[in-house]
Amino acid sequence: MQLQLRTRRLDLSVPVVMGVLNVTPDSFSDGGRYAKPDSALGHALAMAAEGAALIDVGGESTRPGAPPVGTAEELARVLPVIEALVAVLPVPVSVDTAKPEVMTAAAAAGAELINDVRALTAAGALEAAAASGCAVCLMHMRGEPRTMQLKPRYRDVVEEVYAFLAARIEACDQAGIQAERIVADPGFGFGKTLAHNLALMRRLERFAGLGVPLLVGVSRKSMIGALTGRAVGDRLAGGLALAALAVQGGARIVRAHEVAETVDAVRVAAAVCAAEGTGEQG
């Protein structure tokens, strides 16, 4: 399995890790630590050295209750970082944005993938993504970041998320974005309760029917805090458990903050999954 990026192909024959690089002052997990290009570049190089296959740059926080960021401000945050990363990084750069103007500018600066929590539903986003030539990650989110966790309800969360993603993949196809350029993300923690998140993880294999690679982002999420009582900075063990379960469920890209540890967890889980059914005796 391969994902067609803007100028290259990403091998997904085995699952890979996407490193998170927030260049925002208010990220829920590391707000402000990497807001300047120099610190962002150093962290990105470290994640690549630890085994990240992609670096995902975000300039607008999508934590619950996060206020919106203007287009000019988001561009000012992400473009210098993307330009600096593309010049030296050995791995492709992704931009985490829902704004068509940012998609266009980021692609011109060298970004290879557009990671959109709104699944290209904003006005002009579908057209901008198609014209950019980038791969796209379509994520499911119920509502908006400011309100998404206010009593989200579903009749069947797995089937409703599946139907939404299938419809967005069809919309991409109609816009000229072929399946080989698409990744789907069920959106853990985005307009979902703990019960919804657990149901999605339990039935993750259902999303194989979409016919595109699956991305899962659970690193440091509130579902881990709800299950363990751990603060944001102490959720690594829970995140690694979920990363391994995601690989077992078919995820090909695992988005994470702690790259080295997640790479190890993903490799071990992938090896176990590949060994199933061999019948070999030690």
- Interval 228-270: pLDDT, tens: 999 999 999 999 999 999 999 999 999 999 999 999 999 999 9
Q: By CB neighbour count within 10 A (0-12 exposed, 13-18 middle, 19+ buried), where does 162 fall?
A: buried
Which pLDDT score is estimated for 115?
98
**281 located within any domain:** no
Residue 268 forms part of a structural domain: yes
**Residue 147 scores a pLDDT above 80:** no
- Asked, for residue 252, whether it belongs to a domain, the answer is yes
Domain that holds residue 231: 2-275
Active site residue 255: yes
Catalytic residue among 118, 220, 235, 255: 255
- Within-domain flag for 31: yes
pLDDT of residue 28: 47
269: domain CATH number is 3.20.20.20
Q: What is the pLDDT of residue 139?
A: 97
Sign of CA dihedral 87, 90, 96, 102: positive
Set 118, 142, 221, 252: catalytic member: 221
Is residue 89 within 8 A of residue 56, CB to CB? The reply is no
Identify whether 282 is part of a domain.
no
In a domain, 76, yes or no: yes
Instruction: Give the Cα separation of 84 and 272 in Å (integer).
Output: 38
Q: Residue 280: inside a domain, yes or no?
A: no
Query: What pLDDT shows up at residue 170?
Result: 98
In terms of Cα–Cα distance, which of 239, 153, 166 is closest to 195? 153
Residue 63 pLDDT greater than 80, yes or no: no
Instruction: Specify whether the CB–CB gap between 4 and 181 falls below 8 A.
Output: yes
**pLDDT tens by residue, 95-134:** 999 999 999 999 999 999 999 999 999 999 999 999 999 9
What pTM does this model have?
0.90
- What beta strand segments (E) does 68-212 contain? 93-96, 113-116, 135-139, 182-185
Task: Compute the C-alpha angle 197/202/204, nearest 5°.
Answer: 90
Domain count, the chain: 1
Q: Is residue 205 part of a domain?
A: yes
Residue 192 appears among annotated catalytic residues: no
